[in-house]
Amino acid sequence: MCTHCLYRTCTACAILCPDPAPVTIHPVTTHPAEAKELIMGRVIVVGSINQDITVTVDRFPRPGETLSGTSTTYRLGGKGANQAAAAAHAGATALFVGRVGGDASGIALREELREHGVDVSALRTDEEITSGIAFITVNAVGENTIILDAGANGRVAGEQAAAEVELAPDDVVVLQGEIPPAVNEAVIAWTHAAGARVVLNLAPVYPIPAETLASVDVLVVNEGECGLVLGAPAPETAEEAVSAAVALHERGIPRVLVTLGGNGAARASDEGAVHVPAIDLGPVVDTTGAGDAAVGVLAAALAAGHGFPDAVNEGMRAGSTAVLSAGAAASYAGIAPVAPRP
């Protein structure tokens, strides 16, 4: 494994580390086949996968200025890939539908997602374009700037999912806002035609028809995204978040989860509307992967037969686990398997 980019194959940065030594990047949770067979449905993630290149600096450069960074890391990124990894660590049979480019990053990303236990047989390689890349700069106080090139993610197509996967009614399909909106609409229709369920993490937010939004089974947004969807200020307290979740539910969305970072989350459905407190499992190291962990494990719990309130609780625990380690998918090793509903 490459000691510089932390990938199994040293192709992304061979010039920087021509003689990679075997090291362990992070432990990958593996679950016995018997445990996966107990979960009734699969988690099918149709979404984004990126090469995250993060450079730490003492301060951000001014226009035209060149600065030296203090460290550089290459890691798996993209909300779709992160959520698929989280579902796999929770014990679900997770399958990822997406695209990488015909470059060294595409090879590395496929391998790392596979190492998390995700089925990548439906991850296509597009030789005509580069993989999605996020260039991230983090300063000494933790502020960041991000430049995102969607790359192959922009070529994910709705028919790709239908061609690669035969859905069953117990399956749960997860979508995000990092692939073209038309793809999400097509996948939602395909999913419901098969009798399966859709979890939409509308991040980033994009204009979406009210009838499409009401057709998803679960909507997940954070407080800022919630305000954008409602066309109102973002909720600032737990009580306001519960009211906002109710307002979204009243627009016809069956189940709504509004995540609030360290303040937990608010959920609303026909089973009621409540604030779900955050779970304190230890010192917070990095919050990067918490939201995607919550979404992926929520989907795994639904696939395991749990109702929405229990699935939210499982997702919240996973998010609280993810903040104990650095990175996004790299922080998911501690996620506990979801027990199938008795």
Cβ atoms of 305 and 314 closer than 8 Å: no
DSSP state of 262: G
Backbone angles phi, psi at 104, to 5 degrees: -60, -35
Name the one residue in this structure whose structure tokens are 């996968």. 49
Evaluate the omega torsion of the peptide bond into residue 233 and state whether it is cis, within 30 degrees of 0. no
Quick one: which of 327, 264, 340, 265 has its CA closest to 300? 340
Helix-strand-coil split of the chain, %, nearest 5: 35, 20, 45
Q: What is the DSSP string of 297-326?
A: HHHHHHHTT--HHHHHHHHHHHHHHHTTSS
Query: Residue 182 belongs to what H/E stretch?
Result: helix 181-193
Structure tokens at 84: 């698929």
Contacts of 333 (CB under 8 A, 6+ apart): 26, 27, 28, 29, 89, 325
Taking the C-alpha atoms of residue 274 and residue 261, their distance in angstroms, rounded to an integer, is 16
Taking the C-alpha atoms of residue 68 and residue 224, their distance in angstroms, rounded to an integer, is 33
Adjacency order of strands within the sheet including 132-138:
71-77, 50-56, 132-138, 144-149
Structure tokens at 135: 């260039």
Catalytic residue among 52, 103, 126, 292: 292
Q: Establish whether 52 is a catalytic residue.
A: no
Coil vs helix vs strand at 266: strand
Cβ atoms of 113 and 84 closer than 8 Å: yes
Quick one: which of 54, 29, 33 has its CA closest to 286? 54
Enzyme catalytic residues: 292
